[in-house]
Amino acid sequence: MPVAQSIRRAHPNAQILIMADNDHPLLEREPFKNVGLDKAKDAAREVNATVLTPVFNDKEKEKGLTDWNDFSKERGKSVVATMLQKNLNQVLKPQKAKRKTPQMAL
Protein backbone atom coordinates (compact mmCIF):
# COMPACT_ATOMS: atom_id res chain seq x y z
CA MET A 1 0.00 0.00 0.00
CA PRO A 2 2.84 2.51 0.59
CA VAL A 3 3.69 2.42 -3.13
CA ALA A 4 0.12 3.22 -4.15
CA GLN A 5 -0.02 5.99 -1.55
CA SER A 6 3.26 7.46 -2.85
CA ILE A 7 1.97 7.43 -6.41
CA ARG A 8 -1.29 9.06 -5.32
CA ARG A 9 0.59 11.81 -3.45
CA ALA A 10 2.80 12.46 -6.48
CA HIS A 11 -0.13 12.30 -8.93
CA PRO A 12 -3.28 13.37 -7.04
CA ASN A 13 -5.48 13.51 -10.17
CA ALA A 14 -4.14 10.42 -11.93
CA GLN A 15 -6.11 7.33 -12.84
CA ILE A 16 -4.07 4.56 -11.16
CA LEU A 17 -4.18 0.97 -12.39
CA ILE A 18 -2.85 -1.69 -10.00
CA MET A 19 -1.81 -4.93 -11.66
CA ALA A 20 -2.48 -7.61 -9.05
CA ASP A 21 -1.28 -11.17 -8.69
CA ASN A 22 -3.99 -13.84 -8.82
CA ASP A 23 -2.95 -16.17 -6.01
CA HIS A 24 -5.73 -18.66 -6.76
CA PRO A 25 -3.77 -21.69 -5.39
CA LEU A 26 -4.06 -20.15 -1.93
CA LEU A 27 -7.84 -20.46 -2.15
CA GLU A 28 -7.40 -24.21 -1.72
CA ARG A 29 -5.71 -23.81 1.69
CA GLU A 30 -6.95 -22.31 4.89
CA PRO A 31 -7.52 -19.44 5.52
CA PHE A 32 -8.68 -19.49 1.85
CA LYS A 33 -7.36 -16.09 0.82
CA ASN A 34 -6.16 -14.75 -2.51
CA VAL A 35 -3.50 -12.56 -0.92
CA GLY A 36 -2.27 -10.85 -4.08
CA LEU A 37 -5.73 -9.83 -5.16
CA ASP A 38 -6.86 -8.93 -1.62
CA LYS A 39 -3.87 -6.64 -1.04
CA ALA A 40 -4.30 -4.99 -4.44
CA LYS A 41 -7.97 -4.33 -3.71
CA ASP A 42 -7.07 -2.86 -0.30
CA ALA A 43 -4.54 -0.53 -1.92
CA ALA A 44 -6.98 0.41 -4.66
CA ARG A 45 -9.66 1.35 -2.14
CA GLU A 46 -7.14 3.44 -0.21
CA VAL A 47 -6.08 5.50 -3.24
CA ASN A 48 -9.16 5.26 -5.47
CA ALA A 49 -7.47 3.07 -8.08
CA THR A 50 -8.54 0.30 -10.44
CA VAL A 51 -7.32 -3.31 -10.10
CA LEU A 52 -6.45 -5.49 -13.05
CA THR A 53 -5.70 -9.15 -12.42
CA PRO A 54 -4.75 -11.94 -14.83
CA VAL A 55 -7.51 -14.47 -15.41
CA PHE A 56 -6.21 -17.97 -15.97
CA ASN A 57 -8.00 -20.89 -17.58
CA ASP A 58 -8.10 -24.27 -15.81
CA LYS A 59 -5.02 -25.59 -17.64
CA GLU A 60 -2.98 -22.52 -16.65
CA LYS A 61 -4.18 -22.82 -13.06
CA GLU A 62 -3.05 -26.46 -12.99
CA LYS A 63 0.41 -25.24 -14.03
CA GLY A 64 0.41 -22.95 -10.98
CA LEU A 65 0.44 -19.67 -12.91
CA THR A 66 -0.43 -16.72 -10.67
CA ASP A 67 0.98 -13.39 -11.86
CA TRP A 68 1.37 -11.13 -14.87
CA ASN A 69 4.82 -12.48 -15.66
CA ASP A 70 3.39 -16.02 -15.82
CA PHE A 71 0.51 -14.76 -17.94
CA SER A 72 2.88 -13.01 -20.34
CA LYS A 73 5.13 -16.06 -20.70
CA GLU A 74 2.12 -18.32 -21.30
CA ARG A 75 0.11 -16.18 -23.70
CA GLY A 76 2.59 -13.65 -25.03
CA LYS A 77 3.33 -10.00 -24.46
CA SER A 78 0.98 -8.92 -27.23
CA VAL A 79 -1.99 -10.47 -25.39
CA VAL A 80 -1.01 -8.62 -22.20
CA ALA A 81 -0.62 -5.39 -24.18
CA THR A 82 -4.07 -5.82 -25.73
CA MET A 83 -5.64 -6.49 -22.32
CA LEU A 84 -3.92 -3.46 -20.84
CA GLN A 85 -5.02 -1.21 -23.67
CA LYS A 86 -8.62 -2.40 -23.41
CA ASN A 87 -8.69 -1.87 -19.65
CA LEU A 88 -6.91 1.47 -19.81
CA ASN A 89 -9.46 2.67 -22.35
CA GLN A 90 -12.28 1.66 -19.98
CA VAL A 91 -10.62 3.30 -16.97
CA LEU A 92 -9.86 6.51 -18.84
CA LYS A 93 -13.25 6.95 -20.58
CA PRO A 94 -14.68 9.28 -17.93
CA GLN A 95 -11.44 11.29 -17.89
CA LYS A 96 -11.37 11.74 -21.68
CA ALA A 97 -14.67 13.57 -21.50
CA LYS A 98 -13.27 15.96 -18.87
CA ARG A 99 -9.88 16.86 -20.37
CA LYS A 100 -7.82 16.25 -23.48
CA THR A 101 -4.73 14.66 -21.90
CA PRO A 102 -5.53 12.64 -18.78
CA GLN A 103 -2.81 11.97 -16.26
CA MET A 104 -2.04 8.34 -15.60
CA ALA A 105 0.32 6.54 -13.27
CA LEU A 106 1.12 2.84 -13.55
Kindly report, residue by residue over 40-83, the tens digit of the pLDDT: 999 999 999 999 988 889 899 889 898 899 999 999 999 999 98
Mean pLDDT of all residues belonging to the chain: 82
In whole angstroms, what is the distance from residue 6 CA to residue 96 CA?
24
What amino acid occupies position 64? G
User: Buried b / exposed e across 54-64, counting CB within 10 Å, b at 16+?
Assistant: bebeeebeeee
- Per-domain residue ranges of the chain: 2-105
In whole angstroms, what is the distance from residue 69 CA to residue 97 CA?
33
Phi-psi region of 32 (alpha: psi -120 to 50; beta: other; left: phi over 0): left
Average pLDDT over residues 2-25: 90
Lowest mean per-residue pLDDT among 5-19, 69-83, 84-98: 84-98
